[in-house]
């Protein structure tokens, strides 16, 4: 027991050290990739790396693009995921088992295999090249989110739904007033997990648009690494500065909502 706290402390240090090293490296005026660079002299700390990468890729604009892209994907995932998950869990209709099986089959197909047909469909058939909608559409329905919501809805006591139907509530009213308040941990978990994917997505936005005014931060950083960073005064620090900007929203989102991921008592709505 007495060794538990030191062991946890050591594990936390090992886990957090790369993030600390990334932040410190982004603030160094003179790059020091050695282990000693984790403890730089105060005079070697500066914010010039952030100013340099902002001048190269316009951090504000690319962050806005990432926000629009990621926000659209989250909105679509939550709306369609909740509706589909509720239907598969609580509604009885012909072919429900087949739909669920096909959904599971989709999860084993890598997205990379679908990239070319999706590109032809979205760009040539729908004409959505160089647009936010073209970036969002392929990710708007997430089969993993549908599966997670279905499993949460299955855990809810059936008596709650029966009582609501006896009172004359519609299915949408039951979903909004009964089911969703009881699966809030699933919603918050779905937001965080959905956020990470599109926020870090590079391939699809890169294919959809070559317009720098629409490119998300991940695409702009990748272009910066291959074309601009070699000419920077401190390429090492500039790259780490871009990585810090890309990681900061995800870390902040997790810190804000971490306590909400603990599942609540699902049977709290039952009497006795």
Tell me: the pLDDT tens digits for 175-200?
A: 998 899 888 877 887 888 788 889 98
Distances (CA, A) of 100 to 15, 78, 89: 37, 18, 10
Comparing C-alpha atoms, which of 137, 143, 139, 136 is closest to residue 84?
143
Question: d(Cα 82, Cα 146) in Å, to the nearest integer?
Answer: 7
Virtual CA dihedral for 228, 231, 234, 239, nearest 10 degrees? 20
Comparing C-alpha atoms, which of 209, 245, 189, 207 is closest to residue 67?
245
Q: Over pLDDT 70: what percentage of the chain? A: 91
Q: In 213-248, which positions are buried (b, 16+ CB within 10 angstroms) versus exposed (e)? A: ebbbbbbbbebbeeebbeebebbbbbbbbbbbbbee
Average pLDDT, the chain: 84
Question: d(Cα 192, Cα 1) in Å, to the nearest integer?
Answer: 33
pLDDT of residue 230: 62
Inter-residue contact 57 to 223 (CB < 8 Å) = yes
pTM of the predicted protein model: 0.82
Tell me the pLDDT band of 232, cut-offs 50, 70 and 90. low
Tell me: the pLDDT tens digits for 7-18?
A: 888 888 888 888
166 or 4, which is more confident: 166
pLDDT of residue 67: 92
Tell me the pLDDT band of 21, cut-offs 50, 70 and 90. confident
Beta strands in the chain (DSSP E): none
The residues spanned by each domain of the chain are 59-234+248-261
Question: d(Cα 24, Cα 237) in Å, to the nearest integer?
Answer: 9
Mean of the pLDDT values across residues 26-37?
Answer: 77
Q: Which fold has domain 59-234+248-261?
A: MetI-like fold (1.10.3720)
Candidate from 163-172, 185-194, 212-221 with smallest mean pLDDT:
185-194
């Amino acid at each position: 027991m007495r060794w538990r706290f030191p062991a946890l402390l050591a594990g936390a240090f090992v886990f957090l050290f790369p993030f600390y090293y990334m932040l410190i490296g982004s603030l160094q005026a003179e790059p020091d990739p050695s282990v000693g660079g984790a403890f730089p002299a105060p005079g070697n700390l500066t914010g010039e790396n952030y100013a340099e990468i902002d001048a190269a890729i316009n951090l504000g604009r690319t962050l806005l693009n990432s926000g629009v892209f990621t926000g659209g994907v989250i909105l679509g995932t939550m709306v369609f995921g909740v509706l589909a998950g509720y239907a598969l869990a609580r509604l009885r209709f012909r072919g429900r088992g087949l739909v669920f099986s096909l959904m599971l089959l989709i999860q084993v197909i890598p997205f990379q295999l679908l990239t070319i047909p999706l590109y032809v469909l979205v760009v040539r058939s729908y004409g959505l090249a160089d647009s936010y909608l073209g970036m969002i559409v392929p990710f708007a329905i997430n089969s993993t989110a549908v599966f997670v919501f279905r499993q949460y809805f299955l855990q809810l006591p059936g008596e709650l739904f029966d009582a609501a139907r006896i009172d004359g509530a519609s299915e949408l009213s039951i979903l909004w007033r009964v089911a969703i308040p009881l699966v809030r941990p699933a919603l918050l978990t779905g937001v965080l997990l959905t956020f990470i994917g599109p926020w870090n997505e590079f391939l699809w936005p890169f294919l959809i648009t070559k317009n720098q005014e629409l490119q998300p931060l991940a695409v702009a950083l990748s272009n910066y690494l291959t074309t601009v960073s070699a000419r920077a005064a401190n390429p090492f620090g500039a790259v780490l500065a871009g990585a810090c900007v890309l990681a900061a929203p995800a870390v902040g989102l997790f810190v804000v909502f971490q306590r909400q991921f603990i599942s609540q008592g699902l049977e709290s709505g039952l009497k006795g």
